[in-house]
Amino acid sequence: MASGGPNLECRMYEAKYPEVDMAVMIQVNNIADMGAYVSLLEYNNIEGMILFSELSRRRIRSVNSLIRVGRIEPVMVLRVDRDKGYIDLSKRRVSEEDIARCEERYNKSKLVHSIMRHVAETTNIDLEELYIHIGWPLYRKYGHAFEAFKVIVTDPDTILDPLTYEVKETGPDGQEVTKVLPAVTPEIKDALIKNIRRRMTPQPLKIRADIEMKCFQFDGVLHIKDAMRKAEAAGTNDCPVKIKLVAPPLYVLTTQTLDKEQGIATLNKAIVACTEEIERHKGKLVVKDAPRTVSEIDDKLLREQMDNLSKMNEEANGDSDSEEEEDTGMGDVDVENAGFHE
């Protein structure tokens, strides 16, 4: 940290030490003869210790299989000596439920801390001062500052404007006077809102389902196109549905939404509409993969698959013009003209 700059070191919570029987997130720093020395990540890296006897309920065959330098994980607080600063911890006493709750809390706290630290740095204010005036009051009022930050994304005034703090001054008559001041200056408010919106604005999820669809009737291609249109018509403004041909008879349905359950329900509705239409013409639809969230990696793999199939089709078409393809019941679907390519 540059000389004269703000102090950016501070615990995440108002309490200087964790409570006994509380699960906390630690990072292992060193393994000694008696146990492991660790840093409590939520409490400004104060030191704690896990005795080897508190590593596992079972017989320890290898310490390295249970704990390693650099590892980050939840443990249980056994004892806290506030005078001497000793904190004894246990890995073997932390339950699966404790682990889940600790990880959820820590991930939220880490995001809040990152935002607060950046705001303190850019506005040249000590991080602890920012926590005293803004962060910890929000923890007290909302249970976790993360919940308040979520509201700030859309309604910052409701959360930030009521925050105040008191200062005591000596008046002209020598009497002590208490003044109530706004905790959030315009500069801090602007920095907070910008950082929170940049880091916490929810990103839409991509939901996808894979189906196989066939129709061997005369004009089967047209019936498949009609079924695809029915699927897209099942979408809404919040959950638009798109359907693409990968390679006959494989298709993918996709939608993007902030609400995972809504997206899955919409795609299921689209599959039902598509099934009813194709079966009306004695076709068949089979769900290969039910609606689920997909990542950018999944999208990339799908694009690569479609590109490879497209190249293979081009090479096949260049070699010969086989009329046997007419027997598939699919033909060459003009997906682009039907509005199914992005």
pLDDT under 70: residue ranges of the chain = 1-3, 60-62, 65, 310, 313-342
Long-range contacts of 335-341 (CB under 8 A, 24+ apart): 335/244, 335/245, 338/225, 338/228, 338/229, 339/232, 340/228, 340/232, 340/242, 340/243, 340/244, 340/245, 341/244
Cα separation, 314 vs 312, whole angstroms:
5
* Domain residue limits, the chain: 23-92, 103-200, 205-328
pLDDT for 316: 62
Separation of alpha carbons 288 and 299, rounded Å: 17
Confidence at residue 333, expressed as pLDDT on a 0 to 100 scale? 44
Place of tokens 């704990």: 67
Supply the pLDDT for residue 174: 81
Question: What pLDDT, on the 0 to 100 scale, is given for residue 319?
Answer: 54
What does CATH list as the number for 205-328? Answer: 3.30.70.1130
What is the per-residue pLDDT across 141-186, written as a single tens digit (0 to 9) for each? 999 999 999 999 999 999 999 999 998 888 788 888 888 999 999 9
Round to the nearest angstrom and report the end-to-end CA distance of the chain. 49
> Across-strand partners of 90?
76
How high is the pLDDT of residue 72?
A: 95
Predicted confidence at residue 60, as pLDDT, reads: 65
Provide the pLDDT for residue 101: 95
Which pTM value belongs to this model? 0.64
In 3D, which of 82, 76, 69 has the Cα closest to residue 24?
76
What's the confidence (pLDDT) of residue 315?
65
Q: What is the pLDDT of residue 330?
A: 41
For the domain bounded by 23-92, which CATH number is listed?
2.40.50.140
Specify the DSSP class assigned to residue 204: P
- The per-residue pLDDT for 342 is 38
CATH superfamily of 103-200: Translation initiation factor 2; subunit 1; domain 2 (1.10.150.190)
At residue 318, the pLDDT reads 57
At 312 the pLDDT is 72
Instruction: Check: CB of residue 4 under 8 Å from CB of residue 12.
Output: no
